[in-house]
Amino acid sequence: MVFYVPFGEAGVFFNRLQNASSTLFRNYVSKGLSFSVIKPYLLFNYSNNYRGNGKGGFFVIRIMPAESRHLEDSGWLKSYMLFSFSNYHDPDNVQFGSLRAFNDDTVQQGRGFSTHPHSEMEIISVVFEGEITHEDNMGNKGILGKGEVQCITAGTGIQHSELNTGNGPLHFYQIWILPSVSRLEPAYSQKKFEASGWKNQLLPLASGQGFEHALKINADATIYQASLEKEHIIHFNSPEKRCIFIYISAGELCVNGQRIGQGYQARIEQEQAVHMEAASSGTPAEFVLIDVPGKGAEKQVKR
């Protein structure tokens, strides 16, 4: 594991790390873990110059490189799992706030996920290439193509299949978010979004925060998509006790001054201002940003 610190701030960084009553310090230092067994996360700690109230603060941006993703490759399915899922289990990487799963999946033509059950989860699929044919036990059946998003409220229980019946490989993200209310009636929705909608701005795709044109989910969370060109900047402000997750699909992005590339993740906590800009003049920075409650900040309500 390597700590990357802005030049000239190393002493300040380690003083703050040792003085902070943080989970970071307790987990990685007090337990006596050697650097060799710590996951390959890059931890950035520095004074925040972006706070609206003019005060500095201590916070952590956890940068996880593309190679830290877990890969399952069965031939017909190539799945990069960013959190514990299926046969992959890492007790230190089960969820981030209420974000429970994020899989970057490629499915070969004629294959897919046959009928299977889910419950008590908000499941969102974002299609980048190819087609998904969806069918469920509520009578919903449809095809999703590039630029389309699907939301499933599993609630008390749903059976569904997701198959690639298109003419080529299917590439999509599968995202799971814990619902804010349990025992919901299962529901399904889908919508096509135009690429112009996320050019140089964050476009809400699925949300439980009242965005008019986004698909509705039953969680205090929002999934955004963006394509950011050079010399454009996006500022994202978030209340306290939120978790901000960023995943890079293409290009390179600077997140609060830290440069990350394709397949990288940024996990941000305890921070109210996130600043993003394209890092190169070539390929735009394509990314998904997910805003969710911190773990324990949102208790599930039973119906």
Q: What is the pLDDT along the chain (303 residues), one digit of tens a residue?
A: 333 333 333 333 434 444 433 333 333 333 333 222 333 344 443 333 233 333 344 457 899 999 999 999 999 999 999 999 999 999 999 999 999 999 999 999 999 999 999 999 999 999 999 999 999 999 999 999 999 999 999 999 999 999 999 999 999 999 999 999 999 999 999 999 999 999 999 999 999 999 999 999 999 999 999 999 999 999 999 888 899 999 999 999 999 999 999 999 999 998 779 999 999 888 999 999 999 999 776 556 666
Report helix, strand or coil for 26: helix
Sign of CA dihedral 290, 291, 295, 301: negative
Question: In which residue are the tokens 């096509």 written?
Answer: 192
Number of residues assigned to the chain: 303
- C-alpha–C-alpha distance, residues 264 and 277, integer Å: 15
Is residue 112 a contact partner of residue 162, using CB atoms and an 8 Å limit? Answer: yes
- What domains can be seen in the chain, in order of their start residue? 39-293 (2.60.120.10)
DSSP letter string over 66-128? Answer: GGGSEEEE-SSEEEEESS-BTTB--TT-S-BTTEEEEEEEEE-TT-EEEEEEE-S-EEEEEEE
Which of these, 103, 98, 99, lies nearest to 87 by C-alpha position? 103
Number of Cβ atoms within 10 Å of the Cβ of 284: 20
DSSP 166: S
Q: Which two tokens stand for residue 183?
A: 């025992």
Can you give the pLDDT at residue 299?
A: 58
Cα 295 to chain center, whole Å? Answer: 15
pLDDT of residue 176: 98
pTM over 0.85: no
Phi-psi category of residue 131: left, alpha or beta, with phi > 0 → left and psi -120 to 50 → alpha: beta
| Nearest alpha carbon to residue 118 among 132, 142, 143, 101 | 101
pLDDT at site 88 = 97
Point out which residues pair with 148 in neighbouring strands. 192
The helix, strand and coil proportions of the chain, stated in percent and rounded to the nearest 5, come to 10, 45, 45
Q: How far apart are CA 75 and CA 64, in angstroms?
A: 26
Q: How far apart are the C-alpha atoms of 16 and 121, rounded to whole Å?
A: 38
Q: What is the pLDDT of residue 270?
A: 80
Task: State how beta strands 203-207 and 215-216 pair.
Answer: parallel
**If residue 216 lies in a helix (H) or strand (E), which one and from where to where?**
strand 215-216
Q: How far apart are CA 195 and CA 49, in angstroms?
A: 33
What pLDDT sits at residue 59?
Answer: 53
Task: Name residue, tokens 């209340």.
Answer: 239
